[in-house]
Amino acid sequence: WAPTASEVLLATHAAADSTAASASVVAMKASVNGTWTAVINGDKNGMIYTYRVKVDGVVREAVDPYVRATTVNGLRGVVVDLSKTNPKGWSVKKPAFSGKPSDAVIYELHVRDLSIDASSGVKARNAGKYLAFTEPKTNVGGTSTAVASIKDLGVTHVELLPVFDYASVDENNPSFNWGYDPQNYNVPEGSYSTDPTNPTTRIIELKSAIQALHDQGLRVNMDVVYNHVYNAPSFSQNQIVPGYFFRTDNNGNLTSGSGCGNDVASERPMVSKFIVDSVKYWATQYNLDGFRFDLMGLMDVGTVTAISAALKKIDKSIIVIAEGWNMGTLPDKDKAGQMNVDLLPGVSMFNDQLRDGIKGSVFEKLDQGFATGKLTTTNNVQVGITGNIYYSSQFSQNWTTIAPGQSVNYVESHDNLTLADKITASVPTANPAQVAQLARFASSIALLAQGLPFIQAGQEFLRSKGGDDNSYKSSDAVNSIKWNTKAANITTYKYFQGLIALRKAHPAFRMSTEAQVVKNLKFYTVPNSVVMYSIAGKAVGDKVASFVVIHNPNASAQNVKLPKAGKWSVVVSGDKAGTSVISAGTMSEVSVAPQSTMVLQQ
């Protein structure tokens, strides 16, 4: 599509690094609606090609924006027969999942982080690669690692940081980068491939990773970045239709609400079409189960609505989550962010109000939250526990969902300090055992809250990045998951495992409508900023009649009077959690350990 071009040539190349002079060119014909077409006879599988587009007398060379495969480092497009890229055992079958966001537990993971450390147990040739996911039974000293550990944990979805082709790493000599630097949107990143010079290897190996996770009962989500690109002037769409793909200010300069030097103009029809087509392609060709949208507040409501509708047609169980921060460069009414979450029923958004309420501001290292000693944030914690629905006029909330599943509940992600590092910084007197206790406490609030729980890989055994709060291009020494630290922190791992099992076993923790939460979840006034709530289970199909959840943020144990006296069973207490009964008896009052969570059922 090049509506402003006066001439378009299809250039085919003999090799990935052949000179421009050696290319063969075919003139393309102007067709309908600004498109240009050419037909070349024969089997062109493996053909290397680019477009040469003349606009206002200037010829620019561009990779096809819709290209499915490229040469190394994404410099030229390659024609591929996608039917030949399905690995052995490829299946469209997926692990069972209801499609309700509140039934998911998401595990955020960077491909390289999983296995680049020697303690992953993954074969050296697969370390840092897609194929690490095809090793399902790794361990270190008998303790499960990598995919085996993730499966044992009980999460439902593995969310991969960007695996599309990004520009900030040399595929011939890979280093670390998060990957939020789009270059070719519909091509897998080559640095995670065992042979980035072979255009199909990365496709086959990414599909192999997805299939391997599916085989282990884990669904796979993809982190996508349609709000900005790595380099706007050289981006393929900008070479083909200069000035169309990106927003500009009144002076004609590129806007940068993203902070990355450019903002994709998703509100323009052909940009919107491209984004929707791209998401559909990944969902179908790679059999993906969900998407996480980076900085969705820079995208328009119309495009996101179209994405949701398209995905539901493909597979009703696909989930969409997003950063819904209030970003610049679009009118508020058009932003696909928290302020318009009511217009986007198919999208769940990260809950920063709950996150900061629990652990303190992510922008102030020393700031504390409810779990770390600042007892004035109970409002934000309670709002988050409801899934940020409109629960009571007594609550003050930054944004309001129309269903609890629209709230992504978390206290750690790849951004900012890890939870353990945040606690170490904001509670400098805490010893390692206390850091672990506070991390369990903080995480329990998010994992038990109504909505969609989300953890970062390694959070379950106190992952540290050495205090690095922006590790987007830091070394493997900083970013890699140190699986050999899991055994020492197995108590915390088992605590996460238990909370996830409890959540999955009981619909009471997974209500899907605002009405259910308002009717069945009740808060109680308790001294000393203790947060206590009950959930009526039977009304939402739970075999347990009633749960009571108590979060004690104090540095001392608290005696808490239960909503009603009777026979109660404790399933979460201190550093233990799960579906098994820890203690039981007739109770009217309980003692809740310092800075910890207790859950009782009857």
Catalytic (active-site) positions: 294, 323
Write out the two tokens for 576. 């233990």
C-beta separation of 311 from 281 below 8 A: no
The CA distances from residue 128 to 105, 124, 180, in Å, are 24, 9, 17
Q: What region does 506 belong to: left with phi over 0, alpha with psi -120 to 50, or beta?
A: beta
C-beta separation of 323 from 293 below 8 A: yes
Determine the 3-state secondary structure of 519 from DSSP. helix
DSSP 560: E
Determine the 3-state secondary structure of 522 from DSSP. strand
In angstroms, rounded to a whole number, what is the distance separating the alpha carbons of residues 168 and 178?
9
171-194 burial code (b ≥16 CB/10 A, e <16): beebebbbbbbbbbbbbbbbbbbe
Residue among 284, 360, 341 at smallest CA distance from 318: 284
Q: What are phi and psi of 318, to 5 degrees?
A: -70, 135
Residue among 262, 270, 315, 284 at smallest CA distance from 68: 284
In angstroms, rounded to a whole number, what is the distance separating the alpha carbons of residues 355 and 363?
12
Based on DSSP, count helices (H) and strands (E) in the chain, helices before strands: 13, 27
C-beta separation of 438 from 427 below 8 A: yes
Alpha helices in 476-579 (DSSP H): 476-479, 490-505, 514-520
